[in-house]
């Protein structure tokens, strides 16, 4: 199934792969992004994404046939996918980490709009305002997947949803949890329209998170660790909640906070 063996890092295909990895502007312009790792890629194609080009390592003996089979079962045509074998030196040049089972792909992006989000009754949603670090967003997505949250909404994002670090840190959860990007204004209006309560995580004027009901439609909203939430969200909130801080520090990493609050919602909904 492999079309070509690439032995030089100067090959135009390799140069373009690296450009997509490194430049968000090129990802936006082309509508393409890069997924590295078999586990991440399997989640990606299972979610209906189309692989444009598949690069497999000659040294690691990967062939990618199982990934292409998943794509075919999700309506993707195999003859639209170009498959390339990379020499060990070239694969080392393009791989971010060594333990990726020898598979990297260029994938066609999808839209992530608020209007594409379909909510079930009493949804559980995580909202992150102006998140900066792809690793934090990726970790939140992993917690959202584990808690079976209905969506993650990124408001006024400072990182793109196809950043390789985000995909890597989420271990593919960006593909398993419905994720959208929008403005805070549009998101607040969306919650009001769908009768979703807004719980903002903040220290000021707040009550303990485990004393706050989360069984109805609920959006847990968090800001950045440096500046917290804007007044727009504080004013729109149904309630302000906090995690008790018993030590000398006054905050947790946003991904840790998200996990605590999500699983409190899960506990309440299962009791």
Domain boundary among 108, 127, 155: 108
More confident residue, 265 or 45: 265
Three-class secondary structure assignment of the chain: CCCEEECCCCCHHHHHHHHHHHCHHHHHHHCEEEEECHHHHHHHHHCCCCEEEEEEECCCCCCCHHHHHHHHHCCCCHHHCEEEEECHHHHHHHCCCCCCCCEEEEEECCCCCHHHCCCCCCCEEEEEECCCCHHHHHHHHHHHHHCCCCEEEEECCCCCCCCHHHHHHHCCHHHHCCEEEECHHHHHHHHHHCCCEEEEECCCCCEEHHHCCCCCCEEEEECECCCECCHHHHHHCCEEEECCCCCCCCCCCHHHHHHHHHHHHHHHHHC
191 & 238 share domain: yes
Q: Note the pLDDT tens digit of each residue in 99-109.
A: 557 889 999 99
Question: Average pLDDT over the chain, rounded to whole?
Answer: 89
pLDDT at 217 over 60: yes
Same domain, 160 and 211: yes
Q: Is the pLDDT of residue 78 over 70?
A: no
Q: What percent of the chain is predicted at pLDDT more than 70?
A: 90
Number of domains present in the structure of the chain? 2
Residues 138 and 204 in one domain: yes
Range of the domain at 11: 4-108
Q: Based on the fold, state whether residues 20 and 77 are members of the same structural domain.
A: yes
Is the pLDDT score of 172 beyond 50? yes
Instruction: Give me the percent of the chain exceeding a pLDDT of 90.
Output: 67
Task: For residues 131 and 239, state if they share a domain.
Answer: yes
| pLDDT score, position 63 | 62
Q: What is the CATH number of the domain that holds 54?
A: 3.30.1330.30
């Amino acid at each position: 199934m492999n079309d070509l063996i690439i032995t030089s890092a100067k090959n135009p295909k390799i140069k373009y792969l690296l450009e997509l990895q490194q430049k968000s502007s090129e990802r936006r312009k082309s509508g393409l992004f890069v997924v590295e790792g078999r586990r991440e890629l399997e989640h990606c194609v299972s979610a209906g994404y189309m692989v444009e080009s598949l690069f497999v390592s000659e040294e690691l003996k990967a062939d990618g046939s199982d990934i292409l089979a998943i794509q075919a079962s999700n309506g993707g045509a195999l003859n639209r996918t170009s498959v390339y074998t990379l020499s060990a030196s070239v694969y080392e040049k393009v791989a971010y980490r060594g333990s990726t089972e020898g598979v990297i792909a260029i994938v066609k992006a999808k839209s992530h709009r608020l209007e594409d989000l379909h909510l079930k009754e009493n949804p559980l949603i995580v909202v992150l305002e102006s998140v900066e670090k792809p690793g934090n967003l990726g970790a939140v997505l992993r917690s959202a997947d584990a808690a079976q949250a209905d969506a993650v909404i990124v408001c006024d994002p400072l990182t793109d949803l196809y950043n390789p670090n985000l995909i890597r840190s989420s271990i593919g959860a960006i593909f398993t949890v419905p994720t959208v990007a929008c403005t805070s204004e549009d998101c607040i209006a969306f919650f009001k329209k769908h009768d979703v309560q807004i719980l903002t995580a903040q220290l000021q004027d707040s009550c303990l998170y485990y004393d706050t009901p989360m069984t109805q439609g609920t959006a847990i909203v968090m800001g950045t660790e440096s500046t917290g939430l804007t007044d727009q969200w504080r004013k729109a909130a149904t309630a302000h909640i906090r995690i008790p801080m018993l030590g000398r520090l006054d905050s947790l990493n946003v991904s840790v906070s998200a996990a605590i609050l999500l699983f409190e919602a899960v506990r309440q909904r299962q009791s």
